[in-house]
Chain A
Amino acid sequence: MNTLRLAWRLLKRDWYVGELKILVLALIIAVASITSIGIFTQRIDLAMHDQTGRFLGADLMLNSPRPVDKQILDKADSLQLQISKSLLFSTVVVANNEYQLAQVKAVDDHYPLLGKIEYTRQLYGDTIESANGPPAGKAWLTQRLLKRLQLKAGEPFELGDSELLVGGILKHDPGQAGSFMPIAPRMLMHYSDVGRTGIIQPGSRITYQYLFSGKLADRERFARWLKSRLNPTDRLIGGKQGSPALNTALDRAEQYLALASMLSVMLAGIAIAMAANRYGQRHFDQTALLRCMGATQSRLVKLYSLQLVMVGTVASVLGCLLGYAAQQGLVLVMVELLPDNLPHPGYAPFITGFLSGLLTLSGFSLPAILRLKSVPPLRVLRRDSMPLPISAVFVYGLALLSITGLMWWQSGNLSLTLIVLLGTLACVLILTVLSTIMIALSRYLLGYLQGPWRTGLMQVIRYRRANQLQILALGLALMILLTVLLLRIDLLDRWQSQLPAHAPNHFVINIQANEVKPLADYFQGQGITTEGLYPMVRARISAINDVPVLEAVPAGARIDEALKRELNISWASSLQKNNKLLDGQWWTQADSGKYLISVEWGLADRLNLKLGDTLSFQSADKQFKARIRSFRKVQWDSFQPNFYIIFPPATINEYPHSYISSFYLSSEMKDIINELIREFPGLTVIEIDAIMQQVKVILDQVTLAVEYVMLFVLIAGLVVLLASLQSSMDERIHTAIIMRTLGAKRAFLRKGQLAEFTLLGLFSGLLAIAGTEIITYGLYSRVFKLGFELHMPFWILGPATGIVLILLTGWLYTRRVIMQPPARILDN
Chain B
Amino acid sequence: MTPDLILSARKLCKHVPSLDGSSRQMIHILNGVELEIKSGETIAILGKSGSGKSTLLGLLAGLDLPTDGDVYFDNIRLNALDEDGRAELRLDKVGFVFQSFQLLPNLTALENVMLPLELKSDANAQAHARALLQRVELGNRLQHFPRQLSGGEQQRVAIARAFVARPAIVFADEPTGNLDTTTSAHIIELLFEVNREQQTTLVMVTHDENLASLCQRRLLLEDGIIREASP
Residue B57 lies at the interface, judged by CB distance under 8 Å to chain A: yes
Given A5-B118, A294-B119, A378 and B84 touching (CB < 8 A)? no
Sample of 18 further A-B pairs with CB below 8 A, known A380-B102, A382-B54 = A1-B121, A2-B118, A6-B119, A10-B104, A10-B107, A13-B107, A14-B106, A17-B106, A291-B83, A291-B87, A292-B96, A293-B90, A296-B84, A296-B88, A297-B83, A377-B64, A377-B90, A378-B63
Residue A342 lies at the interface, judged by CB distance under 8 Å to chain B: no
Tell me the bound Cα distance from A294 to B61 in angstroms. 11
Q: List 29 A-B contacts (CB under 8 A).
A: A9-B107, A9-B111, A17-B106, A286-B104, A289-B102, A289-B104, A290-B115, A290-B119, A291-B83, A293-B116, A294-B88, A294-B91, A294-B92, A294-B94, A294-B119, A294-B120, A296-B84, A297-B87, A299-B119, A376-B63, A377-B83, A377-B87, A377-B90, A378-B58, A378-B63, A378-B64, A380-B96, A381-B55, A382-B54
In contact, B116 and A294 (Cβ under 8 angstroms): yes
B68-99 interface (Cβ within 8 A of A): 83-84, 87-92, 94, 96, 98
Interface string of A280-301 (1 = CB under 8 A from B): 0000011001111111111100
Residue of A nearest to B54 (CB): A381
A residues sitting closer than 8 Å to B (CB atoms) are: 1-2, 5-6, 9-10, 13-14, 16-17, 285-286, 289-299, 376-378, 380-382
Tell me the bound Cα distance from A9 to B114 in angstroms. 12
Given A294-B90, A381-B57, A6 and B118 touching (CB < 8 A)? yes
Tell me the bound Cα distance from A381 to B118 in angstroms. 23
Tell me the bound Cα distance from A235 to B173 in angstroms. 85
B residues sitting closer than 8 Å to A (CB atoms) are: 54-55, 57-58, 61, 63-64, 83-84, 87-92, 94, 96, 98, 102, 104, 106-107, 111, 115-116, 118-121, 173
In contact, B84 and A285 (Cβ under 8 angstroms): no
In contact, A295 and B102 (Cβ under 8 angstroms): no
- Separation in Å of the A310 CB from the closest CB of chain B? 15
Tell me the bound Cα distance from A297 to B115 in angstroms. 16
In contact, B106 and A10 (Cβ under 8 angstroms): yes
Given A9-B111, A378-B58, A293 and B84 touching (CB < 8 A)? no
Tell me the bound Cα distance from A295 to B119 in angstroms. 7
Residues of B within 8 A of A382 (CB): 54, 58
Residue of B nearest to A1 (CB): B121
- Separation in Å of the A593 CB from the closest CB of chain B? 94
Residues of B within 8 A of A2 (CB): 118-119, 121
Residues of A within 8 A of B118 (CB): 2, 5-6
Tell me the bound Cα distance from A674 to B22 in angstroms. 96
Among A6, A9, A285, A296, contact of B87 (Cβ-Cβ < 8 Å): A296
- Separation in Å of the A439 CB from the closest CB of chain B? 32
- Separation in Å of the B183 CB from the closest CB of chain A? 16
Tell me the bound Cα distance from A299 to B88 in angstroms. 11
Residues of B within 8 A of A297 (CB): 83-84, 87
Given A10-B106, A380-B102, A293 and B115 touching (CB < 8 A)? yes
Tell me the bound Cα distance from A381 to B119 in angstroms. 21
Tell me the bound Cα distance from A380 to B120 in angstroms. 20
Interface-central residue, A5, A289, A298, A376, by most chain B CB under 10 Å: A289
- Separation in Å of the B86 CB from the closest CB of chain A? 8
Tell me the bound Cα distance from A290 to B84 in angstroms. 12
Residues of A within 8 A of B92 (CB): 294
Residues of B within 8 A of A292 (CB): 61, 63, 90, 96
- Separation in Å of the A281 CB from the closest CB of chain B? 15
- Separation in Å of the A376 CB from the closest CB of chain B? 8
- Separation in Å of the B73 CB from the closest CB of chain A? 13
- Separation in Å of the B14 CB from the closest CB of chain A? 11
Residues of B within 8 A of A378 (CB): 58, 63-64
- Separation in Å of the B177 CB from the closest CB of chain A? 12
Residues of A within 8 A of B83 (CB): 291, 297, 377
Residues of B within 8 A of A1 (CB): 121
In contact, B84 and A381 (Cβ under 8 angstroms): no
Among B64, B91, B98, B106, contact of A295 (Cβ-Cβ < 8 Å): B91
Among B63, B84, B119, contact of A380 (Cβ-Cβ < 8 Å): B63
Among A6, A285, A294, contact of B89 (Cβ-Cβ < 8 Å): A294
In contact, A380 and B98 (Cβ under 8 angstroms): yes
Given A14-B106, A378-B63, A293 and B58 touching (CB < 8 A)? no
Interface-central residue, B57, B94, B102, B107, by most chain A CB under 10 Å: B102
In contact, B84 and A298 (Cβ under 8 angstroms): yes
Residue of A nearest to B98 (CB): A380
Tell me the bound Cα distance from A376 to B116 in angstroms. 18
In contact, A381 and B58 (Cβ under 8 angstroms): yes
In contact, A293 and B107 (Cβ under 8 angstroms): no
Residues of B within 8 A of A10 (CB): 104, 106-107
- Separation in Å of the A740 CB from the closest CB of chain B? 21
Residues of A within 8 A of B115 (CB): 6, 290, 293
Tell me the bound Cα distance from A758 to B72 in angstroms. 63
In contact, A295 and B87 (Cβ under 8 angstroms): yes
Tell me the bound Cα distance from A539 to B157 in angstroms. 91
Residues of B within 8 A of A295 (CB): 87, 91, 119
Among A9, A293, A380, contact of B91 (Cβ-Cβ < 8 Å): A293
In contact, A13 and B119 (Cβ under 8 angstroms): no
> What 7 pairs between A and B have smallest CB-CB spacing?
A294-B91, A13-B106, A294-B90, A296-B84, A377-B63, A378-B63, A2-B121
Residues of B within 8 A of A293 (CB): 90-91, 96, 115-116, 119
Tell me the bound Cα distance from A17 to B147 in angstroms. 14
Residues of A within 8 A of B57 (CB): 381
- Separation in Å of the A388 CB from the closest CB of chain B? 12
- Separation in Å of the B150 CB from the closest CB of chain A? 14
Residues of A within 8 A of B102 (CB): 285, 289, 380
Residue of B nearest to A300 (CB): B87
Residues of A within 8 A of B88 (CB): 294, 296
Tell me the bound Cα distance from A213 to B57 in angstroms. 80
Residue of A nearest to B96 (CB): A292
Residue of B nearest to A385 (CB): B64
Residues of B within 8 A of A289 (CB): 102, 104
- Separation in Å of the A265 CB from the closest CB of chain B? 30
- Separation in Å of the B139 CB from the closest CB of chain A? 21
- Separation in Å of the A616 CB from the closest CB of chain B? 77
Residue of B nearest to A14 (CB): B106
Residues of A within 8 A of B107 (CB): 9-10, 13
Tell me the bound Cα distance from A18 to B96 in angstroms. 30
Residue of A nearest to B173 (CB): A381
Tell me the bound Cα distance from A296 to B90 in angstroms. 10
Tell me the bound Cα distance from A2 to B84 in angstroms. 18
Tell me the bound Cα distance from A6 to B116 in angstroms. 11
